[in-house]
Amino acid sequence: MADDSIAVVDLERCSPDRCNYECKNFCPPNRTGKECITLRGEDTAEGQPDQVHISEEICLGETCGICVEKCPFDAIEIINLPSELQEDPVHRYGENAFSLYGLPVPQEGQVTGILGPNGSGKTTAVRILAGELAPNLGQFEDPPGWDTILDRYRGTELQDYLSEVRDGDVTVARKPQYVDKIPDQFDGSTADLLSRTDERGVLDDLLERLEIEHVMDQDIDSLSGGELQRVALTAALARDADFYFLDEITPYLDISQRVTVARLLQEMANEQGRSMLVVEHDLAILDLVADNLHVAYGEPGAYGVITTPKSVRNGINEYLKGYLNNENMRIRPNAIEFDEHAPRETVTADPLVEYPDLRKSYGEGEFSLDVEGGTIYENEVLGIVGPNGIGKSTFAKLLAGRLEPDEGDVDFALDISYKPQYIEIDQPMRVDVFLSSLTDDMGTSYWDTEIAQPLQLDRIMEQDLTDLSGGERQRVAIAACLSKPADLYLLDEPSAYLDVEQRVRATRAIRRYAEIQDATVLVIDHDTYMIDLLSDRLMVFDGEPAEHGHAGRPKGMRDGMNDFLANLDITFRRDENVGRPRINKPGSQLDRQQKNDGEYYYS
């Protein structure tokens, strides 16, 4: 194979017990007597058929591709690497396994951002910089020692940093990506968890800033996703570390909380001289928090490349356009476009349901929600926005019949398909079997084109539900919701753990499904752009989080966005090059002008 190609075998998909080794039998080098595709043998459990591995020295490369076509499980990829990759990888997990090229460079006194698709090596890079994984420079059979590793980075900004990692002189605080797994790893109260992390004596200040004093006496397994995210951030930021690695800071947080976290990280970096590395998919927050940016690209699960630092604005815009200027590299055939449009005109269709004033209380002194009666129309997408802990999910459960109101009648006799905020999967069932149990349309051209392809389900259809990542679970849950025949589709936070491209794809899939199927959809989310692109009207929740919530009647997008963002004292502008929404700096001239005009979003 050419030096600029790699072969990848996905061992989770390779199923020799259900095939006839078509890849091996049809391989041209094999048919001439060479050993290109062979059996792993010693890597196989006793009694199990052998999986395959591919000799990259013998393989003919992407120009052949017969094994890729013949594999019935899409387990093989032969990939031509970009010609610009002249060096060996920073790390490779094994033969026919994922390779990472390039590392981000932590900068003292700055927040360094990483932007890229899921599966492109961002977490591997973080593990290397955190000292959890020694880079093998692609030499997975005989990993090099630290002298060789440091010689590779001699004369670069990473040399001193990696020297300190080798010597154990770097202290690292890390926030994990999937905070909903914390209860599986820790049994006890929030206070028990956080008390051992307060190395800087700032715990009380962090609890106040992140508004989680009220959960200190609660057990970790009783916390919501938003509370778990803030607890995880508090645990990391309370430590006295040289470098802070924060893997996705926004899932389950409302926009106000996201801005608070961004400002907190900026203060720690700029005022205290601390080094922060942030992996994030919310572009508005990444734009707000980062001082410089690395772009990650590649083939998810096969190889990833992390660029040298870029300015934040240019890095985000180049990533969206799909072309990296300095690298002279096209990373995507088409640009990710942000549709800049005036708010949709409200078109009144036939009512699907008219709900009365509703009230739900969880007990004396506990949270209560009051909902003003309103109308949900047929064939509309209704966006639902508001802070965490304000009752949005309670309203969804009331409509779905999962909660009974204290006042008001919600017996609507509607078929409702509901995707909850927190996706709990405990059944060892394959994805395709699970989805086929929900619909008779599996395998039809419509289902494949309008649901499976946009949500990129093809490569995970034969995986077990319990083995999926957070983003994969989210995409399956969205597909499951849309696959059921229903009068009303209710999706609670569909953007969580999706990368930028996946969010755009999911948004368009949901909107297109609503238009083609004449479906009525309610979407609760904290991604402002997703809500804007999806919604015909908006329902705004306000009140005092965790105490009392109030839901107004649905209204037009302009009035709804202005009410929502005015409550948060946040304005947005549009990037003049790609049209993406960007948060204005508080008190800036544009921020003051938009507030004076009463235009917080559609300026």
CA distance 309 to 461: 36
For residues 517-536, give the mean pLDDT.
91
What is the dihedral sign for C-alpha 310, 313, 319, 324? Answer: negative
| Helix locations, 111-181, DSSP H | 122-129, 146-152, 158-167
Following DSSP, what letter does each residue of 239-275 receive, concatenated? S--SEEEEE-S-TT--HHHHHHHHHHHHHHHHTT--E
Q: How far is CA 351 from CA 355, 375, 556, in A?
A: 10, 6, 16
Q: Which residues contact 560 (CB under 8 A, 6 or more apart)?
A: 383, 385, 537, 538, 539, 540, 554
- The pTM score is 0.82
What pLDDT shows up at residue 44?
Answer: 47
Read off the pLDDT band of 65 (50, 70, 90): confident
- Residue 42 pLDDT > 70: no
Q: Which residues contact 436 (CB under 8 A, 6 or more apart)?
A: 442
- Over the stretch 114-155, which tens digit does the pLDDT of each residue have? 999 988 998 899 889 988 899 999 999 999 999 999 999 999
- Over the stretch 298-314, which tens digit does the pLDDT of each residue have? 988 889 999 999 999 99
What pLDDT shows up at residue 476?
Answer: 94
What pLDDT shows up at residue 225?
Answer: 84
- Residue 495 pLDDT > 60: yes
Domains present along the chain, CATH in parentheses? 5-80 (3.30.70.20), 99-329 (3.40.50.300), 358-552 (3.40.50.300)
